[in-house]
Structure 1
Amino acid sequence: MINTDPKHQHKYDVNGKQLCCTLEEKINSKTNNQTGCCSTHNEPENHSDDDGHEHSETNQSIFQMFLPAIISFTLLLIAIGFDNYFPQTWFTAWVRIGWYIVAYIPVGLPVIKEAFESIRKGEVFSEFLLMSIATIGAFAIGEYPEGVAVMLFYAVGEVFQTLAVQRAKSNIKALLDQRPDTATVMEGENAVSKKASEITIGEIIQLKPGEKLALDGKLLSDTASFNTAALTGESKPDTKQKDETVLAGMINLNTVVLVEVTTAYTDSKLSKILEMVQEATAKKAPTELFIRKFAKIYTPIVVFLAIVICVLPMLFVDNYVFSDWLYRALIFLVISCPCALVISIPLGYFGGIGAASKNGILVKGSNFLDIMASIQVVVMDKTGTLTKGVFKVQKVVAMDISEADLVKFTAALETKSTHPVGTAIIEYAKGTEKNITVTDVEEIAGHGLKGKVDGNEILAGNVKLMKKFNISYDVEIDNTPFTIIVIAINQKYSGYFLIADEIKEDAKEAIESLHKINVKTVMLSGDKQAVVDAVAKELNIDQAFGDLLPENKVEKVEALKNEHLHIAFVGDGVNDAPVVALADAGIAMGGLGSDATIETADIVIQNDQPYKIYTAINIGKKTKQIVYQNIGLAFAVKAIVLVLGAGGLATMWEAVFADVGVAMLAILNAIRIQRMKF
């Protein structure tokens, strides 16, 4: 059973084993879903929500699910025909009662059993108890057809609820099929099939066209094209070159390729994504939690009011007939079942998570859908979020040193960095940096690198690095709208690299879409202000701040939060993790990017498209709209029929509509979100 008490939420892997709670510890300080670390143990396969509903995974066909209702419905029709065509005698009366009881058992017995189970667990006032009391009471006053019909329609409603939940889960659970159980491993000249979980780092996997990669690795073949839909939500081919990283879940499209395993099976990027998806259902939205608490208070009040409706009128009504008022009380109980609320609301949120997953967006809990619906400001990093992060050296200017030496010394130092700017310089050097001794490398966050190259002290970074070490440089370069890497050798300014990044194709459309829904846009970057201003002007971003260290980004976000604004921060780098954690909604741009940012984020956009920020907000708004529609529908219809039932103007059939009918309408409304195009 899933416990909605935040102190007792745990996460489980696909085999039902409890996992350590490091992810929640990182993000839950802002969601109040505090989690304690836990020991490994097995969790039962079937999980149920606090409302008592169990929608466990089942291998039953639709016919098998409906079979009890079909049997009950058939017997009910025969019994009604028996009532109409046979005279009433003491013998036929007993046959009639027995027949209705037999018709009741297939649909009524499971509910009565659930009522006892709930009582045994201490949950006395459940909807199962309400249905049991109402239908057994209907039998007690001779309303046999209505007693069976209530349970029959309730059972049909439960099947539809189960099917709806399964449909809502399908977009998410489909991810579980993306990891192959086996892979072909090369042992010398022989290709051997081996369990993926047993393959170790360093082994070579042979991947044929159409096969999925089971583990993360490094491509050994010269080139290969992959379908990355499992990781990005899109089937657009992604061409990889030799020594580039390839990830579990990618599908080889063309020729046979070889991949060297670099990550254990349980640590692959896809494994982490699956873990995040499975955790998502445990984090409830405030609306969901409120409805559950409300149902626990509401149900005993309803039982008490039903008793009052049945008993109290004997003190005020002259021609009081117990059976008439009991019937009204039973109608009241059936109407009062909170099914429409406790099923359709979680289903609405689950549908929202499923719709997001279908669009390549991983939402780590329904609470974050609510947060996205209320976002007022989207704060974005520049590199890798709005720009491609694929840098090219445009120009090299050398001072008192040859350009060739400046390039090879700088490239040698940059081999100790993973920054995309460094990669651009290394590519520009074309191998001239090899066989050069590099020692004492120090990475200065937000500034650049310091180290010794062939015995010379070299500084390579932005202008802040020069200022930090009091090295004068050509200040004219501050105004150029390019990323600049300034070089100093032995404390002397020695030149610079002009490096350009490219804006993502959908970045402008993303900003325009956010403005249309009145969301303010802010860009924060460690790059110099001139570069940041140029990008902000091209994209029409509301505010842009450059020359920021990681701690400065935190300060900017804190300043926005002090204005009582709901903020989403979008980033992709390791140094973005603190700001992602600080924002109301932290969004990791790039399912193939920094692990630290992905784990800290509340939402992961897997295909690197800025437009998906707008999509995530839109899904959050639609989900919340549907949830509120369901709440309004359920309360309005139930309130009307409750009043009519208490006044004797509604029969058990109206009660069935107010319960099962409204639940079905709410379910159909909830699953609409899965059909919407975003």
Structure 2
Amino acid sequence: MEEKTNQKNDRQTGCSCTENNPENHSDDNDHKNSTESKSTFQMFVPAIISFVLLLIAIGLDNYFTQSWFTGWTRIAWYIVAYIPVGFPVIKEAFESIRKGEIFSEFLLMGIATIGAFAIGEYPEGVAVMLFYSVGEVFQMLAVQRAKNNIKLLLDQRPDTATVIQGENTISKKASEINIGEIIQLRPGEKLALDGKLLSDSASLNTAALTGESKPDTKQKGETVLAGMINLNTVVQVEVTTAYSDSKLSKILEMVQEATAKKAPTELFIRKFAKIYTPIVVFLAIGICLIPMLFVENYIFADWLYRALIFLVISCPCALVISIPLGYFGGIGAASKNGILVKGSSFLDIMANIQVVVMDKTGTLTKGVFKVQKVVAVDVSEDDLVKYASALETKSTHPVGTAIMEYAKGAEKNISVTDVEEIAGHGLKGKVDGNEILAGNVKLMKKFNISYNAEIENTPFTIIVIAINQKYAGYFLIADEIKEDAKQAIKSLHKINVKTVMLSGDKQAVVDAVAKELNIDQAYGDLLPENKVQKVEALKKEHLHIAFVGDGVNDAPVVALADAGIAMGGLGSDATIETADIVIQNDQPTKIFTAINIGKKTKQIVYQNIGLAFGVKAIVLVLGAGGLATMWEAVFADVGVALLAILNAVRIQQRKF
């Protein structure tokens, strides 16, 4: 419904380009290409007919003068030349008026060209409508191409897949494959649906999802996603998600919805066009009639001609088409780089970001923890590992996963009850009847349990264990910094963006990471509400803030920040739903890329506004003064619109 509303708004501003629906496509690529070629030719047929008739008429007027080509015969010829390109525009003008949308671009062009006929400027009347119509076709093709580029970029889902049935294989439509069926994927083929890898391993190209073509090796039992390309041997995948619910389908849907969410600049231009168009109509009437009050030798036809030129120039198409297309190009460029932006308004926000606040785990570090050391106090190490891992089975935190991996199944068949997660502290529960506490040192302080204070100084993540209210030992756990994290911080500093790291981890660990990455400010030992307080303090300085985290656990901070950026788009559907921007391949350098794309998009949009207003203002003055003809008016309208569109679509070709 929102998409339809926006299409209606495009019509109200008088621009026909957006009426073309770029989302309609055939599943058959060959059929699609032939249909597009045919429709493109058909769009040019009226212009070709008018152009041929106009050339003949100009020839008969100037070079091959014929006695019969005079009077009503001459007028009728030009009318016939005008109809193929003029009738559709006049028809649209009447339909707009019938709907209550009086001041449209169609009305402006209709009045201008019919007025040219009224004062005997038949060739110019036909020529203006002809070039206007050709310009409209080129604009539609430019918009269609830009949107189809994004469509093709994202919609990497194959239409069919090879399904294994017993000892045989059959080709089946992807939309008809059920959850639980097994797909065979040959080298070079794209996976059609999300699933679980049944083969021992597979090397996959994930560019459709992450923007990175570097092979990603998956092991048996791991999740593989639609759009990934098998690079090596034949593999088998068990389908776990319906075709319409695949990760790639959700990404495609999100990007399509993003184009309907308008930036403030777009909304302003739309409102401006609705006010601007009627104003220029009344100004044109004034240019035609007011001079008769004070101009000697007033000639109505001359001033009407100036008014008609004024109308042609005033069409707002360059603004209402090229500006949304500029934002669409920005969204497409981001998608190409593995960054999903949920609306053009967030491109504007990213262009103005002054501070990037980052979570540590999973954002700057890999979030893949490994137990480095276990120290048991007054209890055997086996019991310490057994109790801790049993309790951590009730947690989804990466630290808990590391402990369970270290335990290697020691927690199996152990009773775990009354588990309570204490936010920012850790877990409390009963394991085999013993009360177990597992968490950071704040958890020990909360329950007044004494421990060896020296453990706080280690630059590792530490999980302290208490059994029946008595300190029992600890786990030292290390997380690895991402390869591109240092470059990400360096790039942000180059564009004068301040970096801040917030973490629930202890300050010693946070300081070590911050020092290695050269982060401006770093705060550890934070509860979720403490993170909110830190961001609120930055907001009070009137700074534009982006927060980068998991998009779910840090929801309050994401909501508070101007832009919420989520890492790990491939890992969580909830992340895609929560964040404003999703970085699909977890690379911190993409934060800089997102800001860069936002800045470039804003630059192009402002260039288009300046170009459109600048050229139109000059030609408006020249037209009102009688120094510009219809030809200059055509350039000011169609020519500037085309230049602005070409400027807008080039962002998709740029490398970031």
Name the TM-score, length of structure 2 as normaliser. Answer: 0.93
**Is 2:409 the counterpart of 1:444?**
no
Alignment of 1:223-372 (within 5 A): 223-372=201-350
Q: Which residue of the other structure, out of 104, 107, 117, is the alignment partner of 1:129?
A: 107
Cα deviation per residue 1:452-484 (whole Å; 9 max; x = unaligned)?
323322222111222222222111111111111
CA–CA distance in 1 between the matches of 2:116 and 2:443? 83
CA–CA distance in 1 between the matches of 2:190 and 2:650? 32
Aligned-pair distance for 1:141? Answer: 1.1
Task: Identify the residue that residue 466 of structure 1 maps to in structure 2.
Answer: 444
Task: Identify the residue that residue 36 of structure 2 maps to in structure 1.
Answer: 60
Aligned-pair distance for 1:91? Answer: 5.2
Task: Identify the residue that residue 431 of structure 1 maps to in structure 2.
Answer: 409
Does the CA contact (< 8 Å) of 2:155 and 2:248 recur in 1? no
Task: Identify the residue that residue 532 of structure 1 maps to in structure 2.
Answer: 510
Partner-residue secondary structure (3-state), 2:587: coil
Cα deviation per residue 1:222-260 (whole Å; 9 max; x = unaligned)?
222222112111121111112222222222222333333
CA–CA distance in 2 between the matches of 1:233 and 1:612? 10
Task: Identify the residue that residue 33 of structure 1 maps to in structure 2.
Answer: none
Does the CA contact (< 8 Å) of 1:171 and 1:358 recur in 2? no
Task: Identify the residue that residue 622 of structure 2 maps to in structure 1.
Answer: 644
Task: Identify the residue that residue 600 of structure 2 maps to in structure 1.
Answer: 622
Does the CA contact (< 8 Å) of 1:637 and 1:662 recur in 2? yes
Does the CA contact (< 8 Å) of 2:155 and 2:252 recur in 1? no
CA–CA distance in 1 between the matches of 2:547 and 2:73? 70
Moved more, 624-633 or 575-584: 575-584
Aligned-pair distance for 1:541? Answer: 0.8
Aligned-pair distance for 1:632? Answer: 1.2
Alignment of 1:90-129 (within 5 A): 92-129=70-107
Task: Identify the residue that residue 32 of structure 2 maps to in structure 1.
Answer: none
CA distance 1:217–1:410, change in 2 (3 Å): farther
Does the CA contact (< 8 Å) of 2:12 and 2:104 recur in 1? no
Does the CA contact (< 8 Å) of 1:524 and 1:544 recur in 2? yes
Partner-residue secondary structure (3-state), 2:553: helix
Partner-residue secondary structure (3-state), 2:70: helix
Structure 2, unpaired ranges of 5+: 25-34
CA distance 1:418–1:214, change in 2 (3 Å): farther
Task: Identify the residue that residue 401 of structure 1 maps to in structure 2.
Answer: 379
Partner-residue secondary structure (3-state), 2:373: strand
Does the CA contact (< 8 Å) of 2:14 and 2:106 recur in 1? no
Name the TM-score, length of structure 1 as normaliser. Answer: 0.90
Does the CA contact (< 8 Å) of 1:171 and 1:357 recur in 2? no
- The code of the aligned residue for 1:245 comes to T
CA distance 1:220–1:324, change in 2 (3 Å): same
CA–CA distance in 2 between the matches of 1:440 and 1:188? 47
Task: Identify the residue that residue 34 of structure 1 maps to in structure 2.
Answer: none
Task: Identify the residue that residue 472 of structure 2 maps to in structure 1.
Answer: 494
- The code of the aligned residue for 2:314 comes to S
- The code of the aligned residue for 2:36 comes to Q
Aligned-pair distance for 1:410? Answer: 1.9
CA–CA distance in 2 between the matches of 1:214 and 1:463? 48
Cα deviation per residue 1:252-276 (whole Å; 9 max; x = unaligned)?
2223333333334443322221221
Does the CA contact (< 8 Å) of 2:135 and 2:638 recur in 1? yes
Partner-residue secondary structure (3-state), 1:77: helix
- The code of the aligned residue for 1:56 comes to N
Partner-residue secondary structure (3-state), 1:412: helix
CA–CA distance in 2 between the matches of 1:324 and 1:301? 21
Task: Identify the residue that residue 580 of structure 2 maps to in structure 1.
Answer: 602
Partner-residue secondary structure (3-state), 1:238: strand
CA–CA distance in 2 between the matches of 1:49 and 1:91? 41
CA distance 1:115–1:560, change in 2 (3 Å): same
CA distance 1:464–1:187, change in 2 (3 Å): farther
CA–CA distance in 1 between the matches of 2:14 and 2:273? 8
How many percent identity over aligned positions?
Answer: 88
CA–CA distance in 2 between the matches of 1:413 and 1:263? 31
Task: Identify the residue that residue 577 of structure 1 maps to in structure 2.
Answer: 555
CA–CA distance in 2 between the matches of 1:657 and 1:414? 70
- The code of the aligned residue for 2:491 comes to S
Moved more, 501-510 or 47-56: 47-56
RMSD across aligned positions (CA)? 2.3
Task: Identify the residue that residue 456 of structure 2 maps to in structure 1.
Answer: 478
- The code of the aligned residue for 1:612 comes to K
Partner-residue secondary structure (3-state), 1:502: coil
Cα deviation per residue 1:307-326 (whole Å; 9 max; x = unaligned)?
11111222222312111111
Does the CA contact (< 8 Å) of 2:204 and 2:231 recur in 1? yes
CA–CA distance in 2 between the matches of 1:176 and 1:509? 28
**Is 2:200 the counterpart of 1:222?**
yes
CA–CA distance in 1 between the matches of 2:518 and 2:376? 35
CA distance 1:463–1:375, change in 2 (3 Å): same
Task: Identify the residue that residue 83 of structure 1 maps to in structure 2.
Answer: 61
Does the CA contact (< 8 Å) of 1:171 and 1:355 recur in 2? no
Structure 1, unpaired ranges of 5+: 10-42
Does the CA contact (< 8 Å) of 1:441 and 1:452 recur in 2? yes
Partner-residue secondary structure (3-state), 1:574: coil
Cα deviation per residue 1:303-346 (whole Å; 9 max; x = unaligned)?
11111111122222231211111111100101111111111111
Q: Which residue of the other structure, out of 175, 183, 186, is the alignment partner of 1:208?
A: 186
Task: Identify the residue that residue 365 of structure 2 maps to in structure 1.
Answer: 387
Does the CA contact (< 8 Å) of 1:588 and 1:597 recur in 2? yes
CA–CA distance in 1 between the matches of 2:226 and 2:546? 29
Does the CA contact (< 8 Å) of 1:76 and 1:145 recur in 2? yes
Does the CA contact (< 8 Å) of 2:116 and 2:305 recur in 1? yes
Q: How many residues align?
A: 641
CA distance 1:505–1:470, change in 2 (3 Å): same
Aligned-pair distance for 1:182? Answer: 3.9
Partner-residue secondary structure (3-state), 1:522: strand
Aligned-pair distance for 1:210? Answer: 2.9
Alignment of 1:550-565 (within 5 A): 550-565=528-543
CA–CA distance in 2 between the matches of 1:258 and 1:405? 41
Task: Identify the residue that residue 28 of structure 2 maps to in structure 1.
Answer: none
CA–CA distance in 1 between the matches of 2:347 and 2:228? 28
Partner-residue secondary structure (3-state), 1:60: helix
Does the CA contact (< 8 Å) of 1:3 and 1:50 recur in 2? no
Task: Identify the residue that residue 31 of structure 2 maps to in structure 1.
Answer: none
CA–CA distance in 2 between the matches of 1:218 and 1:466? 41
Task: Identify the residue that residue 156 of structure 1 maps to in structure 2.
Answer: 134
CA–CA distance in 1 between the matches of 2:183 and 2:333? 34
CA distance 1:659–1:573, change in 2 (3 Å): closer
- The code of the aligned residue for 1:322 comes to F
CA–CA distance in 2 between the matches of 1:535 and 1:385? 12
CA–CA distance in 1 between the matches of 2:552 and 2:615? 51
CA distance 1:547–1:51, change in 2 (3 Å): farther
Q: Which residue of the other structure, out of 663, 666, 669, is the alignment partner of 2:647?
A: 669
